[in-house]
Amino acid sequence: MKRPLVLAAGFVASLILVGGLILLVGVGRVGEALVRADPWWLAAVAGFALAQIAIWGQTLRTVLGTLGVAVTRRAGALLYAAAAFSNNVTPLGQAGGEPVTALVVSRTARVRYETSLAAVASVDALNVVTSLTLVAVGVGYYGVSISVRADAIGNDVLFVAIVALAVLSLLAWRFRGAMVRSVTRIIARFVTALGRVVPPVPTLDPDQVRERLDGFLADVERVAGDRSRLAAALAFSLAGWLAHVAALWAALSAVGYTVDPATLLVVVPVANAAGFTPLPGGFGSIEAAFVALLATMTAVPAADATAAVLVHRAGVYWLPIVVGGAVTGALGADTAASGAE
């Protein structure tokens, strides 16, 4: 099946999932909540969503600066808008969009593909770190200040998951050399085996694969080694997540509910983790996760929570697709024009 057909099939599956969710909670009640939504709060959702793109664009700009690639603030925001587009239309979210985004950054900023991939991967890794920080703060706040409808076991599971992910990340970094060697062998064997079935696929030399991966890893280490820029990138990443949280808070306010922001510090990162599915950008699975968490952790009825989530996702999912798609097209045209000169 050709790639456009695969993407189309993914969006159809996502629409079916979202449609089923709306049917489950009540079409009429969701519609009523959307009709009464405050337009000023709707505008605020869009504003926070655009702010997130601009802020995370500075995260990408800071990381590229660490790797010796200078881009303007405007270029950083535009490049991240293109990244958001790739992530939102590709299965597996950031994991699926990273290679495409890296290609756009490589061609636009005129840097090695390995360098641009290292920058994009580093930004996504920083966003994971800061999202876990938000979850930890939110869970900690619950533990010492308030009681929630979710039981204590749920909070314990979240805490254990955070610790486990942190430990796995540290182990992966500690044994990164061995991991590179293992990945090298796996890639080389896979491509060689594929070449026996599909003759046009060339046989890969493991040494060449290792050289590419070593270059990628060296760039990642450069990002981790620059303490001041790493701190700045983390600050931008955290600010971007807070803009995302603010967008959900505004969406809930639009349908008439005020929710404790501490709750949303947990809801937003955990729900977005559902983006690692075969669906494009997690469309459908993320909506379902948001509604389930809001219905469990807040007093918002499921139908109103669904309406708020649809408004929120219109800002943080569909708006970046429109803006990022336009930016990607413009960057592609500029790159083609530059190559023709």
* Segment 228-275, tens digit of pLDDT: 888 888 899 999 999 999 999 999 999 999 988 888 888 888 888 877
Contacts 24+ apart (CB under 8 A), 14-18: 14/279, 14/280, 14/283, 14/284, 14/285, 15/284, 16/284, 17/279, 17/284, 17/285, 17/287, 17/288, 18/283, 18/284, 18/287
Closest by CA position to 310, among listed 289, 282, 287, 286: 287
pLDDT at 336: 40
Model pLDDT, residue 334: 52
For the question of whether the overall pTM of this predicted structure is more than 0.85, the answer is no
Percent of the chain predicted with pLDDT > 90 = 24
Average pLDDT over residues 64-91: 83
Q: Give the highest mean pLDDT range of 71-80, 130-139, 188-197, 300-309.
A: 300-309
Domain ranges of the chain: 37-149+226-274+297-302+315-340
pLDDT in tens, 179-231: 545 544 554 554 455 445 444 444 444 554 455 555 555 555 666 666 788 88
pLDDT value for 185: 53
How does residue 40 score in pLDDT terms, banded at 50, 70 and 90? very high
